[in-house]
Amino acid sequence: MEPILDKLSVLIVDDHPLFRTAINRLLKNIPFVKRVAEAENGVSALEMMEKETYDIVLLDLMMPVMDGSETARHIRKRYPTCRIVVLTMSDSRNEIIELLGMGVLGYVLKSTDEEELTSAILRVREGTPYLSAAVENVWLDFLSERSKNEILKNNQFFDKNELSDREKEIIIMLCKQMNSKEIAEILSMSQHTVNTHRHNIMKKLDTDNVVGIAIYAIKNGIYQP
């Protein structure tokens, strides 16, 4: 029997009322979303988060008063268990690198559809990154460039001996944005076992998210974009 998915609370942060309303209606049609709230800028969002707990924040970048990047930085610091999905028109390389570099797991362009946004929310809630195709290409190019530069600079890899073959196998699947259910099906194991492996991997690599795992994997030749 499939596990029952916990109901999620979502905060939409965007300065365009019509867009917030449209996303609100969309989210209320998704069975696993229990509560939806709206904020018109980062300051309002942080004030609301002091009073209520949210599992997911859908965050625009270009807003008055406090923009998305600054808002994301505050959320990551104050509410580390809250997952952020950037939902924006911007595919700027600098913004993508800045947001993902600070630990934002989701980056989706506003040209997305309901199916993709639903998938993004589900994956990010699980702790798995979800990036629109164009965003993923920018991010992987950046990681590849960074890894090559650091390898040349240090002339050495991190010690990979502490990772088991199974853990390396799971790391590759995580880098391909597979979730625990998909990994469990491929490896013929339970989702609980996959999550245990993922927890152990993060502990060994001293990271709290899959982005950190991806950086390690590329640096060490475990995964090649």
The pLDDT tens digits of the residues spanning 87-143 come to 999 888 888 888 888 889 899 999 888 899 998 998 888 888 888 888 888 887 777
pLDDT of 158 higher than 70 = no
Sign of CA dihedral 45, 136, 222, 128: positive
Sign of CA dihedral 154, 156, 159, 160: positive
Asked if CATH classification 1.10.1040.10 holds for the domain at 157-219, the reply, yes or no, is no
Q: Is the pLDDT of residue 149 over 80?
A: no
Domain ranges in the chain are: 8-132, 157-219
Instruction: Report whether pLDDT(214) > 60.
Output: yes
CA 87 to chain centre: 12
Phi and psi based region of residue 65 (left: phi greater than 0; alpha: psi -120 to 50; beta: remaining):
left
Helix axes 42-51, 68-78, angle to 10 degrees: 20
Encode pLDDT of 17-45 as tens digits.
999 999 999 998 888 899 999 999 999 99
Q: What percent of the chain has pLDDT over 70?
A: 89
- pLDDT interval class at 157 (50, 70, 90): very low
Q: What is the pLDDT of residue 151?
A: 47
CATH code at 8-132? 3.40.50.2300
Using DSSP's 3-state secondary structure scheme, residue 1 falls into coil
Q: 58 φ, ψ to 5°?
A: -90, 115
